[in-house]
A and B are shown apart, each in its own frame.
Chain A
């Protein structure tokens, strides 16, 4: 019996360490308990910080007997919780609550005569019976009651053996620690997501600075980001993209920031109606490099910076600033180039009216292999057909 439980504990402990998500962890533990102890049902009440009560979050067992997840909760001052919190009521000084004891204790004179105790145990007995609890255990970490395990009686109606109680106790404290860790992970994830939102908002704010200067580009950067993403989704079907989530994120940032270098271009050039002269072009050609310069301190954005730097390079090598050719142009830059060109074509410019979407699409197709990467053009057409651009 001893050996069996030690192995089970070790197995459980090893699995628990690997799981970061609290809900997966809890389901695993409930499954382990029901399987190893052969109880009619098992469940876990978990503390909800916001609502300050304990919700039955996971359970397993016979239908009708097991408590459905999400249906019930018990409050902070319900007997089941108070029993583990307060020394007053835990008359056995044990780390578990046996239903049988609850029934027996009400027969004691000392309890019958003490109204407070009597009331408490009567209410506790009620809770024990509505949830069909045979044994309950606290899940505590450093004095904090994170939850409670409830177990129904064994299918063979036997008592729990001392080794089983020990097994459950140890499992509970391991669970407490694992839940605490998983909760910390969850909190961290929330913080990171909040940070990411802030990050993207900041980037958008910078993009809007450029748009404010160039009155014809209101909303342009966001549209380029949207088109780029939709082209990328299509291109993923033809080209293998490593770390898709990273790629998507960086693509979005690069698209939002691709024209940040325009901050170095005088407004009279940006909004000129007449054809540009050589002087003007010097400014224009410089903007990808200015963009690179501005972003260079951001060490984590290497892929983004390359996309910003090369987003005007042409597939046939006739682009700027370096005249890179073909596959040497990073995919991200090639995508943004198409998205950028497309949006420019379908928007009014100081020097010409907008083209229709069909005309713009034809232009892009015409320039496949010349201006644009052929695979990106294929992906663009897919996105166009699907009305995603």
Chain B
């Protein structure tokens, strides 16, 4: 069985590095991007099964990135990271096909749970 591939998209390099290390420990192959363009480039190239996407990247439209990913590959599982309990964004993300969402600040155990849930 091959390694699961994850793409993490967040404008903060610290966040991307930290989550990279967190996921690597689980034997996941991690790719990272800090803006929309890189995210789509990496996505097209690596075709990860999962995308962890920050909805609030400044200067970017998180929803448009979500849409493009879903258009390119509808079976890719996208988990949105939202900065606050923004019910409007969450509803919109779900409508646009995001599989799940997690709110910053998050409990890492919750992230674990969400990933496990969608691994099937």
- In the complex, which residues 63-115 of chain B have their Cβ closer than 8 Å to any Cβ of chain A? 104-109
Assuming A70-B105, A71-B106, what are 9 further A-B pairs, CB within 8 angstroms?
Answer: A63-B14, A64-B20, A64-B21, A66-B18, A68-B14, A72-B105, A73-B106, A78-B107, A78-B109
A75 near B18: Cβ-Cβ < 8 Å: no
B108 near A68: Cβ-Cβ < 8 Å: no
B17: Cβ under 8 A from any A Cβ: yes
A side interface size, CB within 8 A: 18
**Which residues of chain B are within 8 angstroms of A74 by Cβ–Cβ distance?**
107
Binding site for B on A (CB under 8 A): 53, 55-56, 63-68, 70-75, 78, 129-130
The contact of B18 among A67, A73, A78, A129, by CB within 8 Å, is A67
A73 near B21: Cβ-Cβ < 8 Å: no
B12: Cβ under 8 A from any A Cβ: yes
Q: A80 to nearest B CB, angstroms?
A: 11
**Which residues of chain A are within 8 angstroms of B15 by Cβ–Cβ distance?**
68, 71
Binding site for A on B (CB under 8 A): 12-15, 17-18, 20-22, 25, 104-109
The SS class assigned to the B binding surface is helix
The chain B residue with its CB closest to the CB of A130 is: B108
**Which residues of chain B are within 8 angstroms of A70 by Cβ–Cβ distance?**
104-105
B105 near A55: Cβ-Cβ < 8 Å: yes
Q: A354 to nearest B CB, angstroms?
A: 44
A72 near B107: Cβ-Cβ < 8 Å: yes
**Which residues of chain A are within 8 angstroms of B18 by Cβ–Cβ distance?**
64-68, 71
**Which residues of chain B are within 8 angstroms of A72 by Cβ–Cβ distance?**
105-108
Q: A42 to nearest B CB, angstroms?
A: 14
- The residue among B18, B20, B104 with the most chain A CB atoms within 10 A of its own CB is B18
Q: A273 to nearest B CB, angstroms?
A: 54
